[in-house]
Structure 1
Amino acid sequence: MTTIAILGTGRVSRTLATALLGAGHQVLIGSRDAEAARAGWAGTGVTVTDVADAAGSADVVVNATPGDSSVERLSELRAELAGKVLLDVANASARGADGMPTGLLYPGESLGERLQSALPESKVVKALNTMLFPVMGAPDSLSTPVTVFVSGDDDAAKQVVTGLLTDLGWKPDLILDLGGIKSARAPEAAVEIVPAVLRARGMVPFAITVVG
């Protein structure tokens, strides 16, 4: 059993928390307003606490905060995140009035790289950011086998993340290691297709995959 802290309280957080809890892990939710957030998690088996306590108490930390503010938020937790595996599932994009992505926040770079630069003592691994949130914890829910991409500079950290992905139901042959954290640029850029897909199909789960 691994103690996993998920920073953020939105739909991604709830999806991953439910799936990881079901896989037998201890799950903490880190919230900037833990007192207010606890009611929404009552009876789930998930512990809600403030972000610093969650990050400091966990073996693995998941960044499920809004990507446009992740670097700022997590930089404040540098001490708590030191030495930790940081699984980054967010995408950094500018947002339109409808909340849809309107462009990359870090063109020619990636949020994963920015986080690794801001948190040099942490081991940042990028994954699970090329799909609509329900697919993260239910990879078999789509009609076609789905690829999950993994990027990171630390091989041991990627092995930890690969183990968690397997616990979430991802088959080993569908987990594709792209290389170092720099390789997160291409998967993150895929967020630009999201608005068009959602407008064309509605809020139907989908994912970017490699077929060959």
Structure 2
Amino acid sequence: MKIAVLGTGGGARAHAAELVELGHEVFAGTRDPEATLARTEPDMMGNVPYGQWLADHPGITLLPFGDAAGAADDLVINGIDGHNAVAALTRIADRLADKTLIDYAVPFVYRHQSEHPWPTPWGVMPKLDPCDTDSLAEQIQRALPETKVVKSFVTQEQTTVVDPRSVGGGDHTMFVAGDHTDAKQHAIDLLKSYGWRDILDLGPLVCARGMEMYAHMHSAIGFGLGQQFGGHFGIKVVR
């Protein structure tokens, strides 16, 4: 299958690499491929320059966002940062029409002013916007009415999403939410190919609000475990 992964951060790299391992043809999307490949310094999370990483991962084609999305059969994974996702995806709406878009972005706002800041080992915790009465996934769906948006992957680090067995032998829970049954099944099938055994369908896309707001709890658990960035752990819904 031809699958597009939009974004070049650590999470998008994890998906692209695993999808190639699974035998898919992968198209990575970025705003400006030349600028992306020209970078020589690690990114803000310490990932090696993308050009260096790409050279070590044959089978991945780097293209502008729209071309990458257009090259996909019918599955696109959104790894664009939450602050810029709606605008970037709206510009390529025609290339995403009738396709399933799995969104794992968190609507974080960095460098904000807060009356009661939450200090962390790496700075002040970003705030969520939207929050409570809306979600990033719903904003994307409204902006792209011809696209089938599914929220998933967002309650784990993406390295764990593509390798669930790395935590507890895979005995933990992944969630999906969306308004299109066929698109959710598409996401579930992909998760199963990654190795997930416990996948909980939360229902309509409005449930993305809960998944996105969990991001702060995910960070808090990581801090409690002594893990400053992200977290190598899973959560399990015990029935």
In the aligned structure 2, how far is the partner of 1:49 from the partner of 1:165? 25
Deviates more, 1:21-30 or 1:34-43: 34-43
CA contact (8 A) 1:66 1:90 kept: yes
CA contact (8 A) 1:86 1:125 kept: yes
Residue 91 (structure 2) aligned to one of 68, 72, 76: 76
Tell me the secondary structure at the aligned position of residue 126 of structure 2: strand
TM-score normalized by the length of structure 1 = 0.91
In the aligned structure 2, how far is the partner of 1:79 from the partner of 1:194? 34
Deviations 1:89-144 (A, max 9, x none): 11112224847643221122111111100100000011100012220111011126
Look up the match of 2:235: 208
Look up the match of 1:150: 176
Tell me the secondary structure at the aligned position of residue 208 of structure 1: coil
Matching residue's letter, 1:42:
A
Indicate how the Cα distance of structure 1 residues 25 and 79 shifts in structure 2: closer, same or farther if over 3 A, else same.
Answer: same
Q: Give matches, 1:7-18, under 5 Å.
A: 7-18=6-17
CA contact (8 A) 1:37 1:48 kept: no
Residue 61 (structure 2) aligned to one of 47, 71, 89: 47
Deviation at 1:206, TM superposition (A): 2.2
Deviations 1:3-31 (A, max 9, x none): 11011000001111111111111111001
CA contact (8 A) 1:102 1:192 kept: no
Q: Give matches, 1:90-101, under 5 Å.
A: 90-96=105-111, 98=122, 101=125
Q: Give matches, 1:83-122, under 5 Å.
A: 83-96=98-111, 98=122, 101-107=125-131, 108-122=133-147
Q: Percent identity?
A: 38
In the aligned structure 2, how far is the partner of 1:65 from the partner of 1:47? 17
In the aligned structure 2, how far is the partner of 1:65 from the partner of 1:146? 26
Look up the match of 2:19: 20
Residue 160 (structure 1) aligned to one of 183, 186, 193: 186
CA contact (8 A) 1:20 1:167 kept: no
Deviation at 1:208, TM superposition (A): 3.4
In the aligned structure 2, how far is the partner of 1:140 from the partner of 1:72? 35
Look up the match of 1:56: 70
CA contact (8 A) 2:155 2:218 kept: no
Matching residue's letter, 1:159:
Q
Long gaps (5+) in structure 1: none
Matching residue's letter, 2:213:
A
TM-score normalized by the length of structure 2 = 0.82
Deviates more, 1:137-146 or 1:47-56: 137-146
In the aligned structure 1, how far is the partner of 2:188 from the partner of 2:220? 30
Look up the match of 1:125: 150
Matching residue's letter, 2:108:
S
Indicate how the Cα distance of structure 1 residues 120 and 67 shifts in structure 2: closer, same or farther if over 3 A, else same.
Answer: same
State the aligned residue count. Answer: 209
CA contact (8 A) 1:101 1:194 kept: no
In the aligned structure 2, how far is the partner of 1:106 from the partner of 1:113? 10
Residue 65 (structure 1) aligned to one of 71, 75, 80: 80
CA contact (8 A) 2:99 2:147 kept: yes
